[in-house]
Amino acid sequence: MEYQDKVKVEESRTIAIDFDGVIHSFELGFHDGTIYGTPIEGSIDAIKQLAQHYIIVIYTAKAKKDRPLINGKTGTELVWEWLEKYGISSYIKEITAEKPRAICYIDDKAIRFINWDQTLKELKYFTNESF
C-alpha cells in the first residue's frame, strides 16, 4: 500500500478524542499530576459505541515526553491505567501527545474554524480579550 493510500485509510477510520475534560473529569487541573477524576457522563458508552465503527485515538498533554514522572510512571502509563480501571482500554488504539490523523477531533477547548473573524470572536471565550 502506498503512503497516500495508507494515510487516507487511517484518516477515514480514526476519531481523535482529548482526554482531560472530555473523557476524564478534570476539575482540579494538573493538581498533583495524578489522574484523580472520574469519567465524564456518557464518555464510556460513547467510546464503546464509536469503537464499533472507528479507530479511537486519545490525545493528551499528559503523554508529552517532557512531563515529570508521577509515582514512577509516565502520563501515558497513568492514562492507560485509568482506561483499564473503567473498562475501556481495549477500545483505544493509542494514546499520544501529538495530533493524530483523524476524521475529527473531539476536544473541550477547540474552536471550530469557519473563518478568521468568527475565530477571533470565539477566542474571547478562552482569553477574555477582544481582538
CATH of the domain at 91: 3.40.50.1000
DSSP SS3 for 112:
coil
Count of domains for the chain: 1
Predicted pLDDT of residue 12: 84
Query: How far is residue 11's CA from residue 46's CA, in Å, rounded to a whole number?
Result: 20
> What is the per-residue pLDDT for 7?
66
What type of residue sits at position 89?
A: S
Prediction pTM value: 0.87
Per-residue pLDDT of the chain (131 residues; tens, 9 = 90+): 677 776 677 778 999 999 999 999 988 877 888 898 999 999 999 999 999 999 999 999 999 999 999 999 999 999 999 999 999 999 999 999 999 999 999 999 999 999 999 999 999 888 888 77
- Position 27 scores a pLDDT of 83
The residue segments making up the domain with residue 24 are 3-127
Of 29, 43, 36, the residue nearest 106 (C-alpha)? 43
